Every structure is written in C-alpha cells, then in structure tokens.
Amino acid sequence: MWRPVLLGVFCLLAAASPADARASTLETSVKATYIYKLAPFVTWPQSDPAKPFVICVVGADPFGAVLDQAVAGQVYAQRPIQVTRLDAVNPQSGCDIAYLGGSHAQPVEAALQALHGTPVLTVTDENAPDGIIAFRLSGGHVRFRVDQEAADNAGLTISSKLLDLALSVRTKGGRP
C-alpha cells in the first residue's frame, strides 16, 4: 500500500530535481558573472596596477569552478582578475570585491564589520545582512540592491548606470 505512494513521491521529486538543479545552476552562473562584471561600474581609491584585481569568496562558496571559469582570462583596469577563497576576511586580506557567504569562522555580519570603512565592495546573498551589493531574486531573475551609504563609507563610487539597474538604492540616512 505504501509502496505506490512512495514511488509516486520519488517520481515527483526526481522530475522536479533537474529543473531545480538547472535553475540553481543558472542562478549561480548569473551571480558569478555579476560579481566580476560589477568592477567597471565601481571606482576604487588608489590601487596598485602591478597587483591582480582580487575577488574573495569568504566562507560558503556557492560558485565552485563557475566563478573561476567566468573570470578566466578577464582583466580589470589592466589587472588580471584573481579569485581567492578565505574562511575569514580582514582589511589586510587584499580583496577588491568580497562575496560574503558566511562561515563558522566568520559569519556574514562579522565579515561586514571587519571590512567596514575599507575600500572593498562587499556582496551578499539572500537571507544575509546586506553588503554594499545585495543579491535578490525578483520575478525569477537575479537582481540586486545597492547600499550607497556603505559604498561612500568604503570610499567607493558606484556608477549611476549600476544604480539605475538596482532594485533599490539605500542612500544616506537609510532612505531608499
């Protein structure tokens, strides 16, 4: 009696899984691409042109090889883009962009606190405190919010073109 029911549930889960996996893979790919494509729309204070442009993935890494493949051969401001994975981050970590996935060693909130006021573009995901860029799903598409006040505090200038694409922009005093 239970066997046909379990078989039916298994078939439903098996049928849903590939679509869910494809959606998750697409979402991950889009986010990985967004991360490095954000760079031309942000102005950092002085940087050393002899050093690579570093994207740090801090804590949980949803991207795996997808981010590495996305940045392979890419440059920003004549600097090769490099991906570094860290358990925790601090101002001396050398990150230009930091995707904060959170870890036992350093939850997202602690990573945001550690990088507060430093010229690092912080990027966070759903269900995490907002970084300067906060990914959100909207209508089945990956979108983002921008915290302009946090960018200003970090000494970063966000292009008006990027601000125009944002779902919302938090300005000085917390006003969207």
pLDDT in tens, 22-69: 446 888 899 999 999 999 999 999 778 889 999 999 999 999 999 999
Q: How does strand 157-158 pair with strand 42-43?
A: antiparallel
Residue 174 pLDDT > 50: yes
State how far the Cα of 37 lies from the Cα of 71, in Å rounded to an integer.
9
Residue 71 pLDDT > 70: yes
Going by C-alpha positions, the residue among 174, 138, 127 that lies closest to residue 153 is: 174
- What is the rounded (10 degree) CA torsion for 42, 43, 47, 53? 10
Whether residue 20 is contained in a domain is answered as no
Average pLDDT, the chain: 85
Whether residue 2 is contained in a domain is answered as no
Per-residue confidence (pLDDT) for residue 37, from 0 to 100: 94
Per-residue confidence (pLDDT) for residue 24, from 0 to 100: 66
Amino acid (1-letter code) at residue 68: D
What's 122's domain CATH number? 3.40.50.2300
Whether residue 1 is contained in a domain is answered as no
Whether residue 48 is contained in a domain is answered as yes
Residue 173 pLDDT > 90: no
Residue 123 pLDDT > 80: yes
Full domain range(s) for residue 99: 27-174
Whether residue 6 is contained in a domain is answered as no
State how far the Cα of 118 lies from the Cα of 135, in Å rounded to an integer.
21
Residue 129 pLDDT > 70: yes
State how far the Cα of 58 lies from the Cα of 86, in Å rounded to an integer.
5
Per-residue confidence (pLDDT) for residue 121, from 0 to 100: 98
| 131 contacts 124 by C-beta, under 8 angstroms | yes
Per-residue confidence (pLDDT) for residue 30, from 0 to 100: 92
Whether residue 40 is contained in a domain is answered as yes
Count of structural domains within the chain? 1
Q: What is the mean pLDDT of residues 113-137?
A: 94
Note every long-range contact of 165-173, with CB atoms under 8 Å and residues 24 or more positions apart, other chains counting: 167/136, 167/138, 167/143, 169/145, 170/130, 170/145, 170/146, 172/148, 173/149
Per-residue confidence (pLDDT) for residue 14, from 0 to 100: 33
- Tell which wins on pLDDT, 85 or 46: 85
pLDDT band of residue 161 (cuts 50, 70, 90) is: very high
